[in-house]
Structure 1
């Protein structure tokens, strides 16, 4: 150490040590300041822990707001570019929401086109003469009048204001100044003269602002939604009433006129007046109403007649199909409707079957055209086989020819030659599986043959019973036709043998019981059987109910039977 340094240390002493300490602290602060950018994120993260988050937000609120305001004023384009990624999606989202609401309203309108509400709207459209779309929009897109401001035209001061009760108050003076300034700008910028241009409407947020100009004052209306054109007309009428109320010598309304002006600006009265005006609007098509109504009635009547005729036609085709499906010797494939009252019947038909065309025409209108597309086939139905056998054998009038399950039965009297050839010829008939000629006799012994047949039928008649499951419910539907066939043959033989045919109807039961119960059951079954004889030509004078005559009858089975009643013969 030199003498100079030693002298400095002796002179300064403690001051020199303090200066060195300060220099070290300054160096440490400079080092901390240089490292602050790297340490700041960590410090901010630690500051947001616990209660520090609230204190940090409170401390940064004012400087951040001031900095943002300065940046917006000085670097507006930069702020717009920075906010564009945020504002763009927000705008698109708002537009999407609006379009979604519109689509929902429009879809509801389409869905309700044929509902009760849609028909009511269509009736309103027809009654008022307005397009249906306009009626739908008027009902689907509602509007609301939120604020009305009466603004002095020269000074821009608010003369009167009315707002909906549930809405917060707006700064009327600021709004009036804004609208006045914008109106002056429009008039000065785009107007060609003193009255060359004025502000008519503007959009402020979700509100549509209508500005109606007058010589003394302007009326500004803040509207939410889609207002009808009638609202603007009514607001202009109210503005004209207000100008009549204003005192010509003053720029503001007097106290005596203030109540009248506020009454003219009553929101509820204005909306009610708009609804009343729309309801009482004249019809757009008064001269066309009755022709349109007449046309609709004619169309409705024509459609009704067509629907009725079409229904009748389908019922007639169904009846034809049912008839042909049960036609002996005909196999029906389909009944085809060719349109224009033309029908084609497709199927198979036996040559021996009865022609179906007359039956078809009887069930269709006279102007119907019937086309038969029928191919031949061989039917084995009993009715068709019987027709084929009659055509082949040509039996005499006294010979009864029947076919049952392919068995051809011949009964009656004929000349010996025909009787001799009948079995052989009958076996050749298509569909005949067996021939029964036991009751067929030659004409030489005709009376004896008929008498033998009578005796045979009379003996077999009591054995041909109609059995029941219970009460009068038949067990076998084929038993009654077989019994009636024998009765018909007896009825045919009676006049030829000069006999009187009287039948006794008997009822039977198989369960013992009281005499009264058995008698009642037998009597009901006997009466039922007698009633079935009427179609066979056996009238009430030729049948006797004998079901309850014998209380001691043997209990055998649930059935009903017939017997020949004793009667004197004629000619014997």
Structure 2
């Protein structure tokens, strides 16, 4: 039965059952579904003629963008990168070109006879040379633009060109409104008439009026009529975008901050094209200035290199720490810390051809523990002789080497710990000065040989001087040995040649040794530890065989023995 009713319904209405069910569902639920909205929204957006739809969509779009940025900044950055990159490059290129053009114009204007007149004008008027150049090369410039509410005369927004000195914009706006009201009240004018221009010297004020606001521009120079179109276009766009805000204006100017791009589009300037002809005066002056700058630059660079070398050398000096170095008003200033044992900075200044008038320095005292400074400090505090040298290792151990008096060595062992920065003291490589002298005296004595006449105990001519020197050396040896606490004994050996018998040679050699011993004793030398002995010809000198029986065989030699004193 149900199937028959469905067939009858289909025949009567010509609608499929599924479509009929959708119609019933729409009648039961008249609200718009998401599918319907997605299908109708694009068409509604295209047909929207007023800005109510855009105003309604703006908050939603802004919130969506903000949420997207908070979630992942890279997504939005990747999307706008193809736009931002070219725009940034275009703006940078335009800025550089404008800067180069401005610099070119300034240089050309500064190197001509005309520039001298402009510089005098700058001195007389109190303006800068750059301002005078701009004024004399300017065709026109829109210096300021005011957006004023037409009904109450309040300032809504204010635009200013770069490097333009401005007064209080609210005061200027009030004055413009007052002037316009004065003209309307004082003269027989129509209600719809407006004030379009004001002239005062080099300044012109152009006024473009809209239904709710007035756009006033202050222009320096002679502006073309086409500039009116720029003003009219700006005021029309402002009314189109801010129509509701202008009608409902109650004194709050914050909603009109977005009108600044329209005002900035009116800040236009135009300058005279530069003359292609170059003045010979300019070339001469330019060459002179270039040569002067080159000479100045050469000396400046050379002085700076000397200063840098001086700072580098000073900073490497032990015991000196450079904290600050600068140049002010053509003079050099340097400050830091210096140990009293460090090199004097003034000495280094002279090496680099600087005077105390050129370099102002200030040094705070501090205690440096650098090895070279510790070594200097130790030499000063210990009063070390010049024969002593010091070396400090990384552990703070002070090592002394060279030679020094015995008394100084003993004193240094007692007071080395008073040297700041020294933890240990070693003098293993330090030789006692008197001990080295003792060795020297010993070698001098042992190196002497007194020669005798053949077969006698008589010295050869000239040997008496050697004997006197021997006495002095033995005396020095005795004094030094006594100071060091050492005993000395000297063996005096008499020698002969081999020409006589052995017995005779022994007696002769003994006699020669005894004569020298007696001579030393007669000169006040303590010979209690001296031994005189004859050796005959058994110990010939170290010489060639043909000379073994010569005069050098007939001699007296010496051997010195040193021993510590028993305590």
TM-score, normalised to structure 2, is 0.29
Asked which structure has the greater RCO (Cα within 8 Å, sep 6+), the reply is 2
